[in-house]
Structures are given as structure tokens and as C-alpha cells.
Amino acid sequence: MGKNKKAYEWIKKSIEIDSKSHKGSEWLHLKILEAKIKNLKEVSGEFLINTTFGLETNPKTKLSKEELEKLEKALYYQLNERITFIKPKDQIVAVLLFELGNIALLTKDYLSTSEIYQLSKTYGFQNELVNKRIVLCYEKWLNYYGNQNSELLMEKGGSFRLEGYQIDAVVISLIIVSILFLLLLTSSFFLLKRFKKLKSSTISTS
């Protein structure tokens, strides 16, 4: 309804009652509402998530592994809530996606990082830093998977889903082999059945 101040008050009270509600991510909801109430023209990631990953090509953090995981979960939860009904372009969603991409890069989830960054651009993130980090992500792909697997992964494509996002090249290969094996078994079964019918028909005629 656009009543951001009222929403802020009620969500703040709900956090006081149960801070673990919505997987402990409602503090981020408050920051989003605060940005809207203040009518900020340029919302920074530092304002929304209370930390920064720097301006260098390679993101850096002072957060511990546990703190980084907690922040990642909060971003996932709040973005899942929003992406379903907020269509591009949206500045706050764009910034949150960019910060989520930074965490994915820091945790070496190279399969998802570039997709998250691209989605942040779709939502309107325009800082040149995102392009530098996308290039960095592809470089790390090549180093991590090797030349053979990297070609397969770059051709894979697919749409980004926040619910679960890492798919290894080996897993993809196993799935393809399994499907081909099932198709081969099915074909063999029908051919065998047809052959038996043909054989019995020949015997009867004889």
C-alpha cells in the first residue's frame, strides 16, 4: 500500500518479539524500508547490509566465514521474497543482487556468481565494477574447472534460481549418461518385444 513508515514500525515490533523470524533476515527488511522512507536516490550496498566488499576487482571482506554465511542466507531470503513480484528495474534489488554476487565470488561459487551479477544488471545495476567482476568470475572458472569443463559450463546457460544454484559439470555429465542409458534400455525392450512377435508369427505361418 506504500505505507513504509507503518510497515517499518510493525516489522520492528515483530523483530522484538522474535528476532529469528524469517530466518533472522528481517533486519535487512528494515534497512530496505529505511532507504525508501528516506527516499534515497543512490542506495549503497554498505547502507543496506552494513558492510562493504571494496572497490577492487577482487572483492574483499573482514567478515568471518560464519558472518558471511549468515549474511548470504539473509540476502537469499529477502531476495526470494521480492524477485517473485518485483520486476526489473529496481535499484534496491539490483544492489542486493550485486552484494549477493560478491559473496558467491568470495565463497568460490563460480557457477552462480556471473548469473547473479547479470541479474543485478538486469535490475539496473550500472557500476562498471560489476563488469570487471564478471570477467574475473570467468577467469576463475577457467582456472577451477580447466579448459575442457569450462567450455561445457559456458554453453550450459540456464536461468538463475535463488533456491539452490550450484550444478557441477560432472553431475550434468552423469545425468546425460543416465538419460541415454534409459533410452537405450527402452529401445532395446521394444525391439526385443517386436522381434518376439515377429518370430512367433513366422513359426505360426510355418
Cα separation, 38 vs 41, whole angstroms? 9
Question: Out of 6-10, 129-133, 173-177, which region has the weakest mean confidence (pLDDT)?
Answer: 173-177
Q: Are 96 and 140 in a shared domain?
A: yes
Do residues 58 and 155 both lie within one domain?
yes
128 shares a domain with 87: yes
Q: What is the mean pLDDT of residues 38-66?
A: 93
Residues 95 and 53 in one domain: yes
- Are 34 and 136 within one domain? yes
Question: Would you call 196 helix, strand, or coil by DSSP?
Answer: helix
80 lies in the same domain as 142: yes
35 contact partners, CB below 8 Å, separation of at least 6: 43, 47, 48, 92
C-alpha neighbours within 13 Å on the C-beta side of residue 115:
17
160 with 172, same domain: the answer is no
Verify that 173 and 161 share a domain, yes or no. no
Most confident of 38-47, 143-152, 181-190: 38-47
Query: What pLDDT, on the 0 to 100 scale, is given for residue 165?
Result: 41
Residue 184 pLDDT level (bands cut at 50, 70, 90): low
Look at residue 111 and tell me whether its pLDDT is greater than 90: no
Do 126 and 157 have their domain in common? yes
Mean pLDDT (the chain, rounded): 79
Q: Which domain holds residue 76?
A: 4-165
Are residues 159 and 186 located together in one domain of the fold? no
pLDDT digits (tens, 9 = 90+) for 132-183: 999 998 888 777 666 545 455 555 544 444 444 444 445 555 556 566 666 6
Output Rg (C-alpha) for the chain, integer angstroms: 25
User: Structure pTM?
Assistant: 0.69
Q: How many CB atoms lie within 10 A of CB 194?
A: 10
Q: Do residues 136 and 94 both lie within one domain? A: yes
pLDDT in tens, 134-144: 999 888 877 76
Number of domains in the chain: 2
Of 78-82, 124-128, 173-177, which gets the smallest average pLDDT? Answer: 173-177
Question: Region 42-61: what's the mean pLDDT?
Answer: 94
Determine the pLDDT at residue 19.
85
- Tell me what pLDDT residue 108 has: 85
Is the pLDDT at 41 greater than 80, yes or no?
yes
Pair 112, 191 in one domain: no
How would residue 204 be classed by pLDDT, with cut points 50, 70 and 90? very low
The yes-or-no verdict on residue 28 having pLDDT over 90 is: yes
